[in-house]
């Protein structure tokens, strides 16, 4: 049950982020927007808030992953793709769980399915 909820949550997150990014990109060039609004105080505050949140998530990811060979690409993906990368990692982590796993198994290290 928990595994299905996690798949639904991260799947919805990924689909909605892809949809809103494609929509926004079809309306305005991202770099034009940055040039117009990049110095606005609320833009800077929102961006800083977002990247502090990514840092917290990445701390959890470092705890989960065993090697820097898997950690560093995820850092790059999170910095470049934001919640698209976060939701992709959530889906991957959920896929690795046993079918009878609970939310605690998702959060804690060493509780993945044994292959």
Tell me if 113 is assigned to some domain: no
The CB density around residue 65, as the number of other CB atoms within 10 Å, is 17
* Domain ranges, residue 52: 2-107
Tell me if 114 is assigned to some domain: no
Tell me if 57 is assigned to some domain: yes
Residue 58, pLDDT > 70, answer: yes
| pLDDT confidence of residue 37 | 86
> In the structure, what pLDDT confidence band is assigned to residue 82 with cuts at 50, 70 and 90?
very high
| pLDDT confidence of residue 114 | 56
Tell me if 83 is assigned to some domain: yes
> Residues 6 or more apart from 9 whose CB is under 8 A from it?
90
Residue 42, pLDDT > 90, answer: yes
> Residue 3: which of 115, 87, 102, 88 has the closest Cα?
102
Percent of the chain residues past pLDDT 70, beyond the cut: 95
Residue 36, pLDDT > 70, answer: yes
Query: What's the CA gap between 58 and 71, in Å, rounded?
Result: 9
Owner of token pair 């934001």: 82
């Amino acid at each position: 049950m928990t595994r299905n909820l996690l798949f639904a949550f991260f799947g919805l997150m990924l689909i909605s982020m892809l949809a809103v990014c494609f929509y926004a990109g079809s309306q305005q060039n991202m770099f034009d927007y940055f040039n117009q609004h990049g110095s606005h105080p609320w833009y800077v505050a929102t961006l800083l808030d977002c990247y502090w949140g990514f840092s917290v998530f990445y701390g959890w990811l470092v705890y989960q992953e065993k090697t820097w060979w898997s950690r560093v690409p995820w850092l790059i993906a999170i910095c470049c793709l934001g919640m698209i990368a976060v939701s992709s990692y959530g889906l991957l982590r959920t896929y690795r769980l046993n079918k009878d796993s609970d939310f605690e198994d998702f959060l804690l290290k060493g509780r993945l399915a044994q292959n």
